Amino acid sequence: MLVRAIIWMNLALIFYSWAVFSGRKQGLHLKHLAIFGIGLACDFLGTSEMSLVARLYGKAPEWHNITGIASLAGMGFHFLLALAASLLHRAEAVNILFHRVSLTIYSCWVVAFVSGAVAGMLRMKG
């Protein structure tokens, strides 16, 4: 169960990073929306698996729970911005907003990702 959660979260990191940086470099296209969607699905699946692990072995630190939930919500918002930009045929206002918040949301997500890894390793050590 923990191994599946780790795999899902690492896949989320790969797809989300790919979507953010490729979208910034190339401009937002439908392929980025698909990559974002895959990353969001992987994050959701990884978070669900981690929740099961937490119920069995003890809850993660509260600070990680808060950053994790906020990051999953931010990733969902990020995906919705990408969807809006795509559906509006790259409407300039949406695209500007998308790229403005893109790195901020991504950075928050990476902090939650790293904090979960650190919290898990500390728990296994102690």
Please tell me the predicted confidence (pLDDT) of residue 121.
78
Please tell me the predicted confidence (pLDDT) of residue 11.
96
State the DSSP code for 111. H
Burial of 84 (0-12, 13-18, 19+ CB in 10 A): middle
Please tell me the predicted confidence (pLDDT) of residue 33.
87
CA distances to 26, 30, 73, 117 from 69, in Å: 29, 26, 6, 15
Please tell me the predicted confidence (pLDDT) of residue 42.
95
The series of mean pLDDT values per 10 residues for the chain, 126 residues long, is 90 93 80 90 90 77 78 87 76 70 86 83 71
* Rounded-to-integer distance, Cα 33 and Cα 20, Å: 10
Please tell me the predicted confidence (pLDDT) of residue 91.
57
Q: pTM of the prediction?
A: 0.83
* Rounded-to-integer distance, Cα 81 and Cα 72, Å: 14
